[in-house]
Amino acid sequence: MGLANALISSTLGFWRGTHIREDGLSREGKEQLQALQLYDMEGCPFCRLVREALTELDLDVVIYPCPKGGQRFRSRVLALGGKEQFPFLVDPNTGRSMYESRDIVEYLFRQYGQGETPGIWRLFTLNKASAIAANIVRMGAGVFARPSKRPDLMLELYAFESSPYAKPVRERLCELEIPYLLHNMGKSGLADYMLPVLRRRFYPGYAPATRNRQRLLSDTGLVMAPHLVDPNTGERLYESRQINRYLNRQYGI
Ligand SMILES: N[C@@H](CCC(=O)N[C@@H](CS)C(=O)NCC(=O)O)C(=O)O
């Protein structure tokens, strides 16, 4: 599915999951956090709302994909929470786990944001409708499992929720049931909004303010989403098409 379609999807999602909000944590506090765990289906609008909030709160999260027909993580959700329903969040920092996107979003802002759920996020019915519309245009991508080999080590993905380039990669990771540590890299300053290739060329002094962007810059010299790191093979890849080709080749059956 093309880029235009992913752009329409992000627009229907009102570009939630782009800009980082003021949070209630110091930088050190954030670095000491254990990554949250989300049992997720990429093509599920309710999961999307949770991932959007995670980007806005600049939180890292391990995504356990649970597509329909998936064999790897669905039974774990059933054992942990009592039903196969997604999203299901586990927070190892507080010992809390929960279903229901609205409860999860409110919990995240209470625990890791300013306390109050931000105004726009209180329009939950509207946000749900927009997330449903945003997912419909993806026509079932990121919903159904495909046969795959399970990687030994956890892959890592640098991305932010509304990135139209990251969307097809997350869909493929979900379909292949590949768990991954998602390093959220939402935007916080004007320079974060420049196109990466132009920024690299015309703004060599770019100094991002957030930790995942800083890490990407120091590791690769480029800050662009998505970026996949596979510790099983040592591969580090930019470019969504190349990443998906790699995932199919390496882990598809
Ligand atoms: N009210 C729930 C609805 C969650 C929901 O219906 N999720 C669907 C996926 S979009 C689900 O878990 N379906 C069961 C399945 O896929 O097996 C929420 O907002 O989190």
Taking only the tens place, the pLDDT of each residue in 137-185 is 998 999 999 999 999 999 999 999 999 999 999 999 999 999 999 999 9
Eight-class DSSP state of 233 = T
What pLDDT, on a 0 to 100 scale, did the predictor assign at position 31? Answer: 81
Closest atom of ligand 1 to CA, residue 128: 19
The H-or-E segment that residue 228 falls in is strand 227-230
pLDDT tens track for 135-148:
999 989 999 999 99
Verify whether ligand 1 is closer than 6 Å to residue 46 (CB atom). yes
For residue 147, the one-letter residue type is: P
Contacts of 81 (CB under 8 A, 6+ apart): 88, 97, 98, 99
Q: Is the pLDDT of residue 8 over 70?
A: yes
Please identify which residue in the block is written with the tokens 């990687």: 151
Of 97, 96, 99, nearest to 84 by C-alpha is 99
Q: Rounded to whole angstroms, what are the CA distances from 132 to 136, 169, 174, 208?
A: 6, 19, 18, 32
The count of residues in the chain is 253
pTM for this model (two decimals) = 0.95
Q: Which of 86, 125, 136 to mutate to test the pocket of ligand 1 (most atoms within 8 A of CB)?
A: 86
Work out the burial of residue 12: count CB atoms within 10 Å of its CB; fewer than 13 is exposed, 13-18 middle, 19 or more buried. middle
Once rounded to an integer, what is the mean pLDDT over residues 6-14? 91
What pLDDT, on a 0 to 100 scale, did the predictor assign at position 202? Answer: 87
Q: Which of 38, 42, 44, 100 to mutate to test the pocket of ligand 1 (most atoms within 8 A of CB)?
A: 44
Which pLDDT band holds residue 210 (cuts at 50, 70, 90)? very high
**Token duo for residue 186:** 């939402």
What pLDDT, on a 0 to 100 scale, did the predictor assign at position 24? Answer: 67
Closest atom of ligand 1 to CA, residue 49: 19
Reduced to 3 states, what is the DSSP secondary structure of residue 173?
helix
Once rounded to an integer, what is the mean pLDDT over residues 110-130? 93
Tell me which residue has its CA closest to atom 13 in ligand 1: 85
Tell me which residue has its CA closest to atom 4 in ligand 1: 86
Which pLDDT band holds residue 1 (cuts at 50, 70, 90)? low
Eight-class DSSP state of 136 = H
C-alpha 196/C-alpha 222 separation (Å) is 7
Give the domain CATH number at 75: 3.40.30.10
Tell me which residue has its CA closest to atom 15 in ligand 1: 85
Q: List the strands of the sheet with 96-98, edge to edge.
A: 96-98, 88-91, 36-40, 61-65, 180-184, 155-159, 227-230, 235-238
C-alpha 86/C-alpha 242 separation (Å) is 29
Which pLDDT band holds residue 201 (cuts at 50, 70, 90)? confident
Q: Domain span at residue 182?
A: 3-251
pLDDT tens track for 13-42:
989 999 999 776 777 778 889 999 999 999
C-alpha 18/C-alpha 55 separation (Å) is 7
Number of domains in the chain: 1
Contacts of 38 (CB under 8 A, 6+ apart): 47, 50, 51, 54, 61, 62, 63, 64, 87, 88, 89, 90
Give the rounded percent of residues in the chain with a pLDDT score beyond 70: 99
In this predicted model, which residue has the larger pLDDT, 27 or 127?
127
Reduced to 3 states, what is the DSSP secondary structure of residue 19?
strand
What pLDDT, on a 0 to 100 scale, did the predictor assign at position 46? Answer: 98
Averaged pLDDT score across all residues of the chain: 95
What pLDDT, on a 0 to 100 scale, did the predictor assign at position 107? Answer: 97
